Structure 1
Amino acid sequence: MKIDELSPAHQQALEAAAFRRLLEHLDSRKDVQNIDLMNLAGFCRNCLSKWYVAAAKSDDIEVDYEDARTRVYGMPYADWKEKYQGEATSAQLEKLQQTTPK
């Protein structure tokens, strides 16, 4: 079946499965810092959390940002930050400044 032949329900199911797989992959790569994601791809786990909240809002569903971050991080953000987030290096911060749109 070609992708343009999928029903909207099937397309949504596949997109949801891909999102869940992305979260699993990010969970397995806790060594990858958000600043690295931002520097290389222009988004991070926090961006995904914000997009989750925005998607809910577009369907008139209230989702708290911290709840969305817990979904994306697999644990409360404060716990993840304490366990896995390292201090950004000066090189990482400099690259972020260079790659962030003004």
Structure 2
Amino acid sequence: MDKQIETELEAAAFRGLLTHLQNHPEVQNIELMILADFCRNCLAKWYAEAAKERGIDIDYEQARDKVYGMPYAEWKDKYQLTATPEQMAAYEKRQKEKQ
């Protein structure tokens, strides 16, 4: 496969992932971290890091705006729930398993 086509497909898949996550704010970041070991904030960090590697001035907050589809503070106020004790226990267990 041509490298340019591969890059375009990867970019399209990433845009699809962002759209899917933006359309499903009921999926909490803690749940993503427990199940997949990444969340929206991780995507934003990776996005900002990729920009930095290419000399593009995009900071973490700008990257979060891109990933969340709105300012993070707004998303947090609208959609983020407090993690339950069960979720926190599952997250901590997951983190210990990685060590």
Could you state the TM-score of these two structures normalised by the residue count of structure 1?
A: 0.92
Shift of 1:61: 1.4
1:38 lines up with 2:68 in the alignment: no
Question: Once the two structures are aligned, what percentage of the paired residues are identical?
Answer: 54
Task: Let me know the Cα RMSD of the aligned residues.
Answer: 0.8
Which of the residues 84, 91, 94 maps onto 1:89?
Answer: 84
Spell out the pairing of 1:8-87 with structure 2 (5 A cutoff).
8-87=3-82
Q: Hey, which bits of structure 1, 4+ residues long, moved more than 6 A?
A: none
How many residues get paired? 97
- What is the DSSP-based 3-state SS (H/G/I as helix, E as strand, rest coil) of the residue aligned with 1:61? coil
The letter for the 2-side match of 1:29 is H
- What is the DSSP-based 3-state SS (H/G/I as helix, E as strand, rest coil) of the residue aligned with 2:38? coil
Instruction: Mark the runs of 5 or more structure 1 residues left unpaired by the alignment.
Output: 1-5
Greater alpha carbon shift after TM alignment, 83-92 vs 54-63 = 54-63
Could you state the TM-score of these two structures normalised by the residue count of structure 2?
A: 0.95
CA distance in 1, matches of 2:88, 2:7: 36
1:54-81 CA deviation, whole Å, 9 max, x = no partner? 1111112121110000000000000000
CA distance in 2, matches of 1:64, 1:26: 21
Structure-2 residue corresponding to 1:3: none
CA distance in 1, matches of 2:37, 2:55: 27
